[in-house]
C-alpha cells in the first residue's frame, strides 16, 4: 500500500484545532462541565450545582474552554449561559459518554 501522499489528506489547521480541543478537555473538571452541558445552554449557577465545586473554580475552567473556542456564551438579564459552540465537539462528547459513561 502506498502511503506517501496519505499525510496530504489531513489539514494541519484541523489537526492543530483537534489537539487544542483535546488538551482543553483533558482536565477532569472541564470534561465534566462539557458532559453536563451536552446540547443544552446552562447558566453558571446551574453548572456549579451539577458539577459540585466553587463558582470561581467553574468560571476559571469556563474561561479556558471559551478561549479554545469550545464554548459560546450569552447573557440574559444578570445570568450568563454557556453552550458548546461546535457541532464536532458535541459529537465527540456524545461518543465519549456512550463509551465511558454507559453501564457495562
Q: Per residue in 76-103, pLDDT tens?
A: 999 999 999 888 888 988 888 888 876 6
Q: What percent of the chain has pLDDT over 90?
A: 47
Q: Per residue in 52-76, pLDDT tens?
A: 999 999 999 999 999 988 999 999 9
pTM, rounded to two decimals? 0.80
Q: What is the mean pLDDT of residues 3-28?
A: 79
C-beta atoms surrounding 95 within 10 Å = 10
C-beta atoms surrounding 71 within 10 Å = 23
The pLDDT, as a whole number, for residue 18 is 84
d(CA 82, CA 96): 20
pLDDT at residue 5 tops 70: no
Better-predicted residue by pLDDT, 4 or 103: 103
Q: Please name each of the domains of the chain with its CATH number.
A: 27-100 (1.10.10.10)
Amino acid at each position: 500500500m502506498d502511503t506517501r501522499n496519505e499525510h496530504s489528506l489531513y489539514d494541519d489547521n484541523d489537526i492543530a484545532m483537534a489537539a487544542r480541543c483535546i488538551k482543553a478537555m483533558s482536565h477532569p473538571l472541564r470534561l465534566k462541565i462539557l458532559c453536563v452541558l451536552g446540547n443544552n445552554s446552562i447558566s453558571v449557577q446551574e453548572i456549579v450545582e451539577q458539577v459540585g465545586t466553587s463558582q470561581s473554580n467553574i468560571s476559571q475552567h469556563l474561561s479556558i474552554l471559551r478561549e479554545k473556542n469550545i464554548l459560546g456564551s450569552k447573557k440574559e438579564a444578570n445570568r450568563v449561559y454557556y453552550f458548546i459552540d461546535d457541532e464536532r465537539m458535541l459529537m465527540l462528547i456524545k461518543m465519549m459518554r456512550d463509551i465511558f459513561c454507559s453501564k457495562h
